DNA sequence: TAATTTTAAGCAAACGTTTGTTTAATTGGT
DNA sequence: ACCAATTAAACAAACGTTTGCTTAAAATTA
C-alpha cells in the first residue's frame, strides 16, 4: 500500500506535522537538517500525497471540472485548450467528464460525478440541462459557468458568442456578395442559441430588403446529418443561391449533399458556416465561416469561476473569415 | 456550506452512523421509520455526499481516469465512448485529463492530477511517456493500461491494433488494385507503432515482389500538416501511384496537397488511410481506410483494469473498408 | 415469567492530511 | 548568569465518511 505522511515521519524520526510542513514548503517551523531528512525519506518511500485527504481538511480544492456534451461538433477541444491554459496559469487542475447530449440520466450521473467531490468550480460546455439537473447543479455550493450557450434567464452565468450577431453577420456575408435567396440550415429552433441566430438571420434579410421565406429555414441539431438532411430538403429547385449552416459539421453536410445533388460549391451554391474550427480548412473547397473565439471562451470561463460575482453573462467576439465557399454574384 | 451527514443526524434525531447506513441502502441496522426520517432530512437539507471523504475511509474508489494526449487526431472520442459505456455498466465513473503530446512537464502534471487522488485505474490514450513519467505511473499503486499504443517492452499492459498488420493490409489494399509504386506518409519512425507499420508495409511490398525505395517513405507525426508535408516532399515526379497515410488527418493532408499539386484522387493518386474515423466519410472523395476498432479498445481497457492479471497485451481486430480513394489500375 | 434471540441504534476508531497551539530547546542581550 | 526572544518540533483537533463493536430494547421461545 502507498506510503503516508506518517510512514515518512516514522522513517525520518519526526512528527507528521513537520513532514506535512516541509513537503508543503512552508517557510517556518522546521530546520534545514530536518527538512533534508524528510525529503530523503519521502523520496525513498516513493511518497505520493493523497490530495483527497488534504482537500478534506483544507475545505478547498484546486481542480476545476468541465462537463462536456458529447455532440459530434468538435469545437470542444479548442475551448478545453483555453480552459487548460488559463487553469494552469492559476495553478489549477482540470478534469473532464462527458455527459450525454440529451439523456437526462446520463447528464445527472455526470453532474453527480463532479458535484460529489471537492471541485473548485464547474464549467458546462454547450450543455442544455433539464430543470431538475439545473437545480442539482445550483444545489451544490460550487461556482459554475455555462460555455458556448446562453439563456433567456439572465441570471445564469454564461460565456458565449452573441448569437443574434452570428446569424446576422453570416447572412450579411452572403447578402454582400449579392445573394437574395438565402437558406438557414441545421439550426435548432427551440434553444436560445437557435432562436437568436434565426432572428439575426431574418433581421439581416429584412435590412437588405428581402422578406424571409418559411421554406428557407430547415431546422436541425447542428450535426453532419442535420446538414445533409437540410440540403436534401432544399433539393435542386429551391432557388437558393446561398445557405448559412449551423455548424462546421452541418456545413460539410450541406456541402456533400449539394455535391450529391449535382450542385457545385460555390458556383451553384454558396455556403457560410458557423464556428470556424479547423474543419473549415480540411474540406474542399474551404468553408467561409463566421468564426467563434472558442479559446477565449474557455479562458473567460475559468476567470469567471475565480471571480464569480462580476458580469454573469459575457460575450466573446466573432469574426467572419472568408475562404472559398461564397461566390460573389454578378450584378444584374 | 454544504450539509453533512452529521447535520442530517441532528435533524433526524439519530446518529451519524445510522444516517450513513440508510443513505448507503445497507440492508440492516435500522428500522423503516428511522429510514424515512433520515431520507426526509437528507432531502430537506439538499445533502450531497462527500465522495472524497468516503473514499478516504473505504480505501477504494470507483472512478477510472483517462489521460489523453491532445494530438489533433480525433479517434479519442470513439475510445472514450467505449470506455464510458463499459465503465457505466460496471458502475464506474470516468474522468479525463489532457496531457501535452510531448511536453514531459505537462505529462507529469496530468499524471499527478490523477495519481494524487484515489482512482481505481488509469487508462492512457496513445500516450508516449518519458521514462521518468512511466516510473511515476508505476510507482502509484494503481492499475493502468495503455490504449492505442504498444511497446517493445512486453510487460506494459496495452491494448492496440496489430501495427504490423495495419501496415501490411493497408499496403496490400493498394497492391491488390495493381499498384507497384507505393508511398508511406506521416508515420513516425521512432515509436513502436511507426516501426511496425513500416515493417508491415515493407513486407507487403516484398511479398508482392516489389523492393521498397527509401524515398517512398516520408515520416511524420500523423497530423494533417505531416500529411501535407509528406505529399509536398513527394511532389509530382515521384512516380508513386498510391500512398498509405498514417492517420485519417494525415490522409486528408496528402489529399489536399495532392490537389494543390494538380493530382486528382484517385485518378492520379490512390490513398489508403489508417484509422477509419468518421472523418473518412466527411471528405471528398471518401477515404478508403484500414479501420481500427476504437470503441472496443476502450471497452477492453476498462475490462483490463478490472482484471489486471490476465493478457497484459491485447490486440483488437482491424478491417479494411473500401471507399473512394483507391483506383484499380488497368493490367498492362 | 425468565432466558434467549433478534432487531435497532449508538459509540468510537479509522482513513491521510493540515494547522493552531503548546512545549522544549537554542540564541542573544545585558 | 539570568531573562527574554526566537526557533524547532511535537501535540492534537479537525475534515466527512464508513464500519466493527457494544448496548439497549423488543420479540421470541420454553
Q: Which sequence spans correspond to the domains of chain B? A: 5-49, 61-161+295-317, 163-292
Residues 11-30 of A with CB under 7 A from strand D: 13-18, 28-30
What does the pLDDT look like over A246-280, one tens digit per residue? 999 999 999 999 999 999 999 999 999 999 999 99
Banded pLDDT at B179 (limits 50, 70, 90) = very high
User: CA(B36)–C1'(C12) in Å?
Assistant: 25
Q: Looking at residues B195-216, what average pLDDT do you find?
A: 97
Which whole number is the average pLDDT over A6-22? 85
Please give the residue that has the higher pLDDT: either A192 or B9.
A192
Report which of residues 44-83 in chain A place their beta carbon less than 7 angstroms from any atom of strand C: 47-50, 53-54, 56-58
pLDDT at residue A35 tops 90: no
In the block, residue with C-alpha cell 439537473: A133
Residues of B in contact with A48 (CB under 8 A): 115-116, 139-140
Does the nearest atom of strand C lie within 7 Å of B14's Cβ?
yes
For the stretch B105-141, pLDDT in tens is: 889 999 999 999 889 999 999 998 999 999 999 988 8
* Span B185-202, average pLDDT: 95
Supply φ then ψ for residue B207, to 5 degrees: -60, -25
Predicted confidence at residue A44, as pLDDT, reads 85
Pick among A256, A279, A282, A295 to test the B interface (most B CBs inside 10 A):
A282
Q: What is the mean pLDDT of residues B166-183?
A: 98
pLDDT above 80: residue A70 = no
Ramachandran assignment for B186, one of left (phi > 0), alpha (psi -120 to 50 degrees), beta (any other): left
CATH topology of domain A163-291: Rossmann fold (3.40.50)
How many angstroms separate the CA of A136 from the C1' of D12? 37
Whether A161 shows a pLDDT value over 90: the answer reads yes
The answer on pLDDT for B76 being more than 90 is: no
CB B331 within 8 A of CB B179: no
* Strand D at less than 7 A from CB of B261: no
Q: Which nucleotide is nearest to A116 (CA to C1')?
A: D16
pLDDT of residue A200: 98
Of B77, B93, B282, the CB nearest to A224: B282
Tell me how far apart the alpha carbons of residues A280 and A259 are, in angstroms, rounded to a whole number: 17
Contact between chains at A48 and B278 (C-beta distance less than 8 A): no
Question: Nearest nucleotide by C1' from B29 CA?
Answer: C8
Given an 8 Å threshold on Cβ–Cβ distance, is B115 in contact with A48? Answer: yes
Q: How far is the CA of A29 from the C1' of D6 (A)?
A: 12
Comparing CB atoms, the residue among B48, B53, B63 nearest residue A56 is B53
Q: Distance (Å) from CA A25 to C1' D3?
A: 33
Cell of residue A301, nine digits? 470561463
Task: Kindly report, residue by residue over B243-261, the tens digit of the pLDDT.
Answer: 999 999 999 999 999 999 9
Supply the pLDDT for residue B140.
87
Under CATH, what is the fold of the domain B5-49?
Answer: 434 Repressor (Amino-terminal Domain) (1.10.260)
Name the residue among B239, B273, B237, B267 with its Cα closest to residue B254. Answer: B273
Distance A31 CA to D9 C1' (A): 9
C-alpha grid cell for residue A285? 473547397
pLDDT score of B72:
58
Cβ of A70 within 8 Å of Cβ of B81? The answer is yes
- Determine whether the distance from the CB of A236 to the nearest atom of strand C is below 7 Å: no
pLDDT digits (tens, 9 = 90+) for A207-246: 999 999 999 999 999 999 999 999 999 999 999 999 999 9
**Per mean pLDDT, which range of A28-37, A157-166, A276-285 is the poorest?**
A28-37
Q: Are A224 and A249 in contact (CB under 8 A)?
A: yes
Mean pLDDT of chain A: 91
Could you report the per-residue pLDDT of B36-62, keeping only the tens digit for each? Answer: 887 888 888 889 999 999 999 998 999
pLDDT of res. B273: 98
Residue A28 pLDDT greater than 80, yes or no: no
Q: Write down which residues 26-85 in B have CB closer than 7 A to strand D.
A: 29, 47-50, 53-54, 56-58
- pLDDT of B104 reads 86
How many residue contacts between A and B have a Cβ separation below 8 Å? 107
Instruction: For the sheet with A242-245, list strands across it.
Output: A217-218, A182-185, A242-245, A270-275, A288-292, A318-321
Q: Of A29-33, B79-83, B271-275, which gets the smallest average pLDDT?
A: A29-33
Asked if B63's CB is within 8 angstroms of A84's CB, the reply is no
The pLDDT of residue A154 is: 77
- β-sheet bridge partners, residue B93: B63
- Looking at residue B89, its pLDDT comes to 93
**Average pLDDT, stretch B187-216?**
96
A61-161+295-317 shares its CATH topology with A163-291: yes
Asked if strand D contacts A307 at the CB level, meaning under 7 A, the answer is no
Asked if A38 and A12 touch (Cβ cutoff 8 Å), the reply is: yes
- Please report the pLDDT score of residue A166 as a whole number: 98
* Residue range B211-224, pLDDT digits in tens: 999 999 999 999 99
In this prediction, residue A309 carries a pLDDT of 67
> Is pLDDT of A38 > 80?
no
Task: Identify the residue whose Cα has the smallest distance to the C1' of D13.
Answer: A57
Q: Radius of gyration over alpha carbons of chain B, in Å?
A: 26
Closest CA to the C1' of D20: that residue is: B17
Task: Show the cell assigned to B291.
Answer: 479501420
Q: How far is B209 from chain A (nearest CA, A)?
A: 36
User: What's the DSSP call for residue B233?
Assistant: H
Cβ separation of A141 and B259 shorter than 8 Å? no
**8 Å CB contact of A116 and B48:** yes
**Overall average pLDDT of the A63-81 stretch:** 83
What is the structure's pLDDT at B1?
59
Answer for the pair A19, A39: CB distance below 8 angstroms, yes or no. Answer: no
**Residue A73 above 80 pLDDT?**
no
Closest CA to B143 of B133, B158, B130: B158
CATH ID of B61-161+295-317, from 3.40.50.2300, 3.10.580.10, 3.30.1380.10, 3.40.50.180? 3.40.50.2300
Over 90: is that where the pLDDT of A102 sits? no
Locate A119 and state its grid cell. 471541485
CATH 3.20.20.70 fits B163-292, yes or no: no
Query: Quick one: pLDDT at residue B314?
Result: 92
Amino acid at each position: 500500500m502507498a506510503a503516508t505522511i506518517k510512514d515518512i515521519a516514522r522513517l525520518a524520526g519526526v512528527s507528521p506535522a513537520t513532514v506535512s510542513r516541509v513537503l508543503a514548503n512552508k517557510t517556518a517551523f522546521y530546520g534545514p537538517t530536518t527538512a533534508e531528512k524528510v525529503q530523503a525519506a519521502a523520496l525513498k518511500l516513493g511518497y505520493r500525497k493523497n490530495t483527497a485527504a488534504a482537500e478534506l481538511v483544507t475545505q478547498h480544492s484546486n481542480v476545476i471540472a468541465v462537463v462536456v456534451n458529447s455532440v459530434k461538433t468538435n469545437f470542444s477541444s479548442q475551448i478545453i485548450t483555453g480552459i487548460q491554459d488559463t487553469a494552469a496559469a492559476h495553478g489549477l487542475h482540470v478534469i473532464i467528464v462527458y455527459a450525454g447530449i440529451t439523456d437526462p440520466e446520463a447528464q445527472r450521473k455526470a453532474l453527480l460525478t463532479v458535484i460529489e467531490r471537492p471541485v473548485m468550480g464547474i464549467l458546462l460546455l454547450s450543455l442544455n440541462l433539464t430543470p431538475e439537473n439545473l437545480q442539482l447543479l445550483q444545489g451544490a455550493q460550487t461556482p459554475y459557468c455555462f460555455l458556448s450557450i446562453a439563456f433567456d434567464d439572465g441570471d445564469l452565468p454564461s460565456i458565449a458568442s452573441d448569437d443574434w450577431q452570428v446569424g446576422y453577420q453570416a447572412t450579411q456575408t452572403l447578402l454582400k456578395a449579392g445573394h437574395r435567396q438565402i437558406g438557414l440550415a441545421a439550426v435548432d429552433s427551440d434553444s436560445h442559441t437557435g432562436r437568436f441566430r434565426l432572428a439575426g438571420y431574418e433581421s439581416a434579410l429584412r435590412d437588405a430588403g428581402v422578406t424571409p421565406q418559411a421554406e428557407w429555414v430547415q431546422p436541425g441539431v447542428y450535426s453532419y446529418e442535420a446538414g445533409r438532411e437540410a440540403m436534401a430538403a432544399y433539393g435542386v429547385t429551391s432557388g437558393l443561391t446561398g445557405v448559412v449552416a449551423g455548424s462546421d459539421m452541418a456545413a460539410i453536410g450541406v456541402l456533400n449533399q449539394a455535391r450529391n445533388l449535382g450542385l457545385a460549391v460555390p458556383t451553384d451554391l454558396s455556403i457560410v458556416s458557423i464556428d470556424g474550427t479547423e474543419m473549415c480548412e480540411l474540406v474542399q473547397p474551404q468553408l467561409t465561416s463566421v468564426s467563434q473565439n472558442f479559446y477565449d471562451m474557455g479562458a473567460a470561463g475559468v476567470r469567471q469561476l475565480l471571480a464569480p460575482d462580476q458580469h454573469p453573462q459575457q460575450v466573446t467576439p466573432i469574426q467572419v473569415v472568408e475562404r472559398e465557399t461564397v461566390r460573389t454574384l454578378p450584378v444584374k
